[in-house]
Amino acid sequence: MVSHSELRKLFCSADAVCFDVDSTVIREEGIDELAKFCGVEDAVSEMTRRAMGGAVPFKAALTERLALIQPSREQVQRLIAEHPPHLTPGIRELVSRLQERNVQVFLISGGFRSIVEHVASKLNIPSTNVFANRLKFYFNGEYAGFDEMQPTAESGGKGKVIKLLKEKFHFKKIVMIGDGATDMEACPPADVFIGFGGNVIRQQVKDNSEWYITDFVELLGELEE
């Protein structure tokens, strides 16, 4: 067990901070919003709940949910235009404070790149710092599956991305922040995990996080001290 003051020191001296996106950086679960938009909300949100609880392998859950939703390119574009995701209060300030301190900020998501890139642009995070799943479409715009080669399509994918970042950029300390079991599993290789319950509290994460917050103001406060 690392003491809380040690964790705080690690957070304040991190050279990279990685955020989960759905229910962390934004208030919604992107896949559930897409399901709602495509008229299959109930069946899909039940599957998301099971997947987030760690009951179903991630890729299987993703395949199953997307097979139900069958989102076309046009539906994804309309979702972003008509129902853009809502940023979680405090995230904009936290990201910009980290960037002022020359900390690299990454978004690592089991959600969809088109939605996550939209969120990244709102936070001035370059798209090269986005790791997420790519939807595939046929030439007529119909759903054609997703890119199964992306590390984020697998269980344990977020940890693979963090390992990759350490190898590529030689980061000494990486912090992972997120609401779900897949975020917590990314530490290690992340050096610190901070559980976030500001949008939804997942009991398993709350119970097993050494540091659990429900408001990004707490982290902003750490950086100001």
In the chain (225 residues long), the average pLDDT of successive 10-residue segments reads 72 86 90 88 77 73 88 92 90 90 90 91 93 93 91 86 90 89 85 86 80 84 72
Q: Confirm if 164 and 96 have CB atoms less than 8 A apart.
A: no
Round to whole Å and give the CA distance between 31 and 38.
10
Tell me what pLDDT residue 71 has: 93
Q: Among all residues, which ones are annotated catalytic?
A: 20, 22
pLDDT of residue 25: 92
pTM: 0.88
Contacts of 143 by beta carbon, 8 Å cutoff, 6+ apart: 66, 69, 70, 71, 72, 135, 136, 137
* Domain 34-82, classified CATH 2.60.40.420, yes or no: no
CA torsion sign for 106, 195, 37, 60 is positive
Q: Where in the chain is the domain with CATH 1.10.150.210?
A: 34-82
Q: How much is the pLDDT for 190?
A: 87
Sign of the C-alpha dihedral, residues 115, 67, 46, 133?
Answer: negative
CATH 3.40.50.1000 residue ranges for the chain: 4-28+86-136+147-224
> What is the per-residue pLDDT for 150?
86
What's the pLDDT at 88?
A: 92
pLDDT at 51: 66
Class of domain 4-28+86-136+147-224: alpha beta
